Structure 1
Amino acid sequence: MRRLIQRLVLLALAACSDNAGPATAPAVPTSQLHFVLQDPAAPPLAASSGSFLAKVGENRELRLFYQNGQEFMRFEVPSDGLWRKPDGSSFQPGEEILITVTIVDPARFVFDFEPTGLQFNPSDQARLKIYYYNADHDFNGDGTVDAEDARIESQLDIWRREPPDTVWFRLGAVNFESSEELNANIASFTDHAVAW
């Protein structure tokens, strides 16, 4: 039941928002963005990157895990999600493309998605889920987990930037605080991060 409610909320958000980036959200320089950090006691990641073949006509996904088996990140491409190749040409039925997700820094929630320039169907975008239960919940770094950290948690979002640019744009992810999960639709490939 909880998953059904989460999906309904995500669909409602998708219907009300456009996370294409610069046209809809103010830019924030890297120097002003607060990146979420992994808790120093968090289990290590099982792998710092993963790849899969996304194929037109088939649902495909990639999951990255911690060494203890907890899920860290999930990236889903629906069967009709592939739209434009990095060269701008359209995908044809049955075509595949290799997708790679790399954790840029294992201490922070920052990801690089390749191939750069890949675009997803505006009517059925790819979906990114990031679980932050192993984050350092002292978000402001003052040595105490308190009400200010709870306020910051409610502001967590997934952000995107086009390298080598240094400005980031908020995606408007759905934050399921009870399960410590962020869900966002992804329009194209670039760098992504969990921050506030």
Structure 2
Amino acid sequence: MLSNRLARLAVLLALPAALAACENPSGDDDFVPGEDLVFLRTGPDTPHLETYDTSFVAVKGEDAEVRIDYVNGEECLRFRLDDDSLLRRPNGTAFRDGDTVTIRIRVVDTGYFNFEFQPAGLRFDPDEPAELRVDYGRANPDYNGDGEVDGDDDDFDFGWWRQEQPGQPWQRIGSARVHDLTEVRAELEGFTRYALAGGN
């Protein structure tokens, strides 16, 4: 039990460095059409989610956390805010302590790890970003989509990609893949669509 706790602590301590190291090697300014990406699919035995559309009220000055679980109790998504994460509303006005905003998380496509976060344009403090975690343990093990489950899937580089508006190209963001926990984590500075994908 102690060794598990120490392992988790090591992961948390290493996360900032891992996020920086996992930036898109071609640069954050590069945008990729959706047809050039392979989006992680859910596996054939993946349970239904308890909800595909959830909302909660976030308060400036208070920590917040929301989860989307499978019906069997396994965690799919976890989204966290620190007390100072909320920075600006979509219209640019700054949050003050006690201000609230309703945050909505929607599953865009039930066959993929593809999520929409609203309100679009909400901004978080770069020094206290929001954190997004998704457990990909229920993903189809053919990560690269070539029709075979083999060593190429182990080497397939996937992470979080963002899309500002439907139909627009995607941009890779810094993310950390935690193999032992089958999680992919990212620190978010704003709201849009996010999906787990990799280059074809």
TM-score, with length taken from structure 1: 0.91
Gaps of 5+ in 2: 1-5
| Shift in Å, 1:18 | 10
- Asked if 1:33 is matched to 2:37, the reply is yes
Q: Which residue in the other structure is 1:5 paired with?
A: 10
Q: Which residue in the other structure is 2:177 paired with?
A: 175
Cα distance in 2 for partners of 1:143, 1:30 equals 19
| Shift in Å, 1:165 | 4.8
| Shift in Å, 1:164 | 3.6
- Asked if 1:127 is matched to 2:131, the reply is yes
Counterpart code for 2:8:
R
- Asked if 1:100 is matched to 2:109, the reply is no
Q: Which residue in the other structure is 1:61 paired with?
A: 65
TM-superposition CA deviations, 1:77-108 (whole Å, max 9, x none): 11000000011000011111000100001101
| Shift in Å, 1:143 | 3.8
Q: 1:195 aligns with which of 170, 194, 197?
A: 197
Cα distance in 2 for partners of 1:147, 1:25 equals 30
| Shift in Å, 1:3 | 2.2
| Shift in Å, 1:24 | 2.7
Contact 1:18–1:24 at 8 Å: present in 2 too?
no
Cα distance in 1 for partners of 2:46, 2:169 equals 29
Task: Describe the SS at the equivalent of 1:34.
Answer: strand
Contact 1:30–1:167 at 8 Å: present in 2 too?
yes
Q: Which residue in the other structure is 1:184 paired with?
A: 186
Task: Describe the SS at the equivalent of 2:194.
Answer: strand
Cα distance in 2 for partners of 1:31, 1:81 equals 33
Q: Which residue in the other structure is 2:46 paired with?
A: 42
TM-superposition CA deviations, 1:114-168 (whole Å, max 9, x none): 000000001110000011000001123344321011111xx11011010045211
* Percent of matched pairs sharing the same residue: 36
Alignment coverage as a number of residue pairs: 190
Q: Which residue in the other structure is 2:116 paired with?
A: 112
Cα distance in 1 for partners of 2:21, 2:60 equals 25
Cα distance in 2 for partners of 1:25, 1:99 equals 27
Contact 2:28–2:173 at 8 Å: present in 1 too?
no
Cα distance in 2 for partners of 1:41, 1:18 equals 30
Q: Which residue in the other structure is 2:3 paired with?
A: none
RMSD of the alignment, in Å?
Answer: 1.7
| Shift in Å, 1:17 | 7.0
Contact 2:44–2:140 at 8 Å: present in 1 too?
yes
- Asked if 1:157 is matched to 2:159, the reply is yes
Q: 1:52 aligns with which of 53, 56, 80?
A: 56
Relative to structure 1, is the Cα distance of residues 131 and 85 closer, same or farther in structure 2, using a 3 angstrom cutoff?
same
TM-superposition CA deviations, 1:151-193 (whole Å, max 9, x none): 11xx110110100452111112110112110010001000000
